[in-house]
Amino acid sequence: MNYKQLAVDGIRWSSMTSMLSFSIGLIQIAIIARYLSPDEIGIISLVTVIIGTGRVFGDAGMSNAIIHFQDLNAQQINALYWINVIVAFFISSAIFFLALPIANLLSTADLAPFIRIMSFAIVLGSIGQQFYILLKRDFHFKEISLIDLAQRVVIFMSIIIMLVVWKMGILSVIYATVIGSIVYSIVSIMIGLKYFNLPNLIAVNFSNLKECLRFGGFQFMDRSVGYLSSNLDKLFIGRFFGTDVLGIYELATVLINRPISIINPMFNNVSFPLFSKMQHDLPRLNQWYIKKIAIISMISAAIYCGMYSIRYELVEFIYGEDWNMIASSLSVLFILGYFKSVSNPMGTYVLALGRPDISLYFKLYQICIHISLLVIGVLFYDYMTTITIYVAGAIIFTIPPEYYMRYYLSKMPVSPLFFKIIKHFFLAMIMVILIYFSRHLFTQYNLNNTVYMLILISLGVLFYGLINLILNQKLLKELLSLIRR
C-alpha cells in the first residue's frame, strides 16, 4: 500500500474542505456577532458545551474502535452500530429531562429550553455516524469532504435564513445545529451505501466484541474527560463572571480555534487510519509523526503569532467595532492556541497504538490541573488575570508530560520534537517584531482598517517566508512540495 500517496490524497481533500469550512465559519460567526448580544452568545456557548459532552458520551468510544481494529466482520460492525445508536438515544433523553437541573447548576435558567432542543442533535447524528467512520477507515477522503461540506453549508444557510431574515435570535443557531445533524446522517448514509450495507438487527454478533468494548470504554472515558477538560474554562467563566463575559471569551476562542479546525483536520483525518496501519512499525510511525508535527508547528506558529500582531484590526474586521475586550483576550490566548495546535495530533497517535488507557490517565491529570488553575482564578482574580493563569499553568504543567508519554509509548525521541516546536515559535516571533516596526511606515496614512490589515498580513507572509528560507529551508521545501502534490 502506498502510504505516501494515501496521505497526499487525504491531505488534499481535507485541506480543501477545511479552507472552505473556515471561510464559511468565519462569515457565520461574524454575522452572529452582529445580530446577537454577548449574553446571548454566552448562552449558546454553554449549550454547545453541554451538548458536545453528550455527543462524546453518545459515541461511547465505538467510532475509533472501528478504525483501530482493522479486521472486524459485518456482524461485529452491526453490533457496534446498534450500541452506538442506543447509547446516543439514552444520553439524548437524559439531557432532555435533566435540562432544568443543569441550567440551575450553571445559574442560567434560560438555558433549559435550548438544551432540550439541542439534545435531539445527539441521537439524530448517531444514525449516520458509523457510515462516516467506515468511510474514514477505508480512506474515502473525497466522500468525507462532501459530507462535511454539506453539513457546514446547510447550517450556514439555516442561520442566515432564521437569524438575518426571520429574526429568530438564539433559536436560529439552536435549530440550525439540529438541522445540521439531520443532514450529516442523511448524506453519510446516502454516500456510505455505495460501499457498505445497511446495519441489520438480525445479523448481530455481540460475542466477539470484548477487545472493541474495552478499547471503546477507555476511549469513551478519555474523550469525555478530554472534552470536559478543554471546555472547563467556559463553564467556570460563565458561572462566575456571567454569560456576557463568556460571550466575549467565546468570540475570542472561536478565533483561536479556527486555525486548529483548518490545519489539524488536514492531517488528523488522514493520520489516524494511516497510523493504525503502521502501529506495528514504531520507528516508521515516529518518523511520520515528527514530520507531521514539524509541518503543523511551522504553519501554526505563523498563524497564531500573526494573529497576535493584528489582533485589534482582525477583531474590528470580523466582529465590528467596540469589541476591544476580545482583542485583549487574544493577546493572552494566542500562545495557548499554538500549543493546542501542536498537541492536538497526540490523540490520533495514542489511539493508533491502541493505548486509550494511557491517554485517559493523562487527561485525568490534565483536568485536575485545569480545575485547580480555574478555581484559583475565579475565586481571587478578575477575568483577564484568570485566563492568564489558566493559559500559563496549562502550558507549564501539561506540555512536558506529553513528551514523556510519547517516549514511554514508542521511545519517540524528545529533543527533535521539542526543538522543532520551539524553533518555529521563535521564528514567528521574529516576524511579529518586524511587523511591529513596520507599522510606523503606515501611521502617516489614513488607511481603511481592512486595507491596513491586509498590508500587515502581506508583510507578515513575506517576513516569515524569508525567515524560513534562510533558517528553515529544508522543511519549507518539503511543505511546498506537499502543497504542489
Instruction: Say if CB 267 and CB 22 are below 8 A apart.
Output: no
Q: How far, in Å, CA of 83 to CA of 77, rounded?
A: 10
Which residue in this structure is represented by grid cell 454577548? 38
Q: What is the rounded average pLDDT of the residues 107-133?
A: 90
pLDDT for 277? 67
Instruction: Say if CB 79 and CB 146 are below 8 A apart.
Output: no
Chain mean position to CA 64 = 16
Q: What is the rounded average pLDDT of the residues 173-196?
A: 94
The phi and psi torsions of 449 (rounded to 5 degrees) equal: -55, -45
pLDDT for 373? 96
Nearest to 4 by CA among 284, 213, 279: 284
pLDDT category at 7 given cuts 50, 70, 90 is: low
Mean pLDDT, the chain, whole residue set: 85
More confident residue, 93 or 84: 93
pLDDT tens per residue, range 272-292: 666 666 666 777 777 877 888
The phi and psi torsions of 191 (rounded to 5 degrees) equal: -75, -40
Name every residue whose Cβ is closer than 8 Å to that of residue 342 and which is 6 or more positions away in sequence. 293, 296, 297, 300, 421
Q: What is the rounded average pLDDT of the residues 47-65?
A: 80
pLDDT tens per residue, range 308-357: 999 999 999 999 877 889 999 999 999 999 998 888 767 677 767 777 77
pLDDT tens per residue, range 197-250: 887 766 666 667 777 777 777 777 777 888 888 899 999 999 999 999 999 999
The pTM of this model reads: 0.85
Q: Which three cell numbers stand for residue 289?
A: 509523526
More confident residue, 17 or 174: 174
pLDDT for 403? 81
Q: How far, in Å, CA of 74 to CA of 329, rounded?
A: 50
Name every residue whose Cβ is closer than 8 Å to that of residue 318 and which is 6 or more positions away in sequence. 26, 29, 30, 33, 255
Burial class (CB in 10 A: 0-12, 13-18, 19+), 153: middle
Q: Which three cell numbers stand for residue 132?
A: 462516516
Report the percentage of the chain scoring pLDDT > 70.
90
Name every residue whose Cβ is closer than 8 Å to that of residue 285 and which is 6 or more positions away in sequence. 275, 278, 279, 349, 352, 353, 410
pLDDT for 252? 94
Report CA torsion sign: 183, 157, 57, 334: positive
More confident residue, 14 or 116: 116
pLDDT for 8? 66
Instruction: Say if CB 405 and CB 358 are below 8 A apart.
Output: yes
More confident residue, 230 or 12: 230
Q: What is the rounded average pLDDT of the residues 79-105?
A: 90
Nearest to 309 by CA among 342, 326, 276, 334: 334
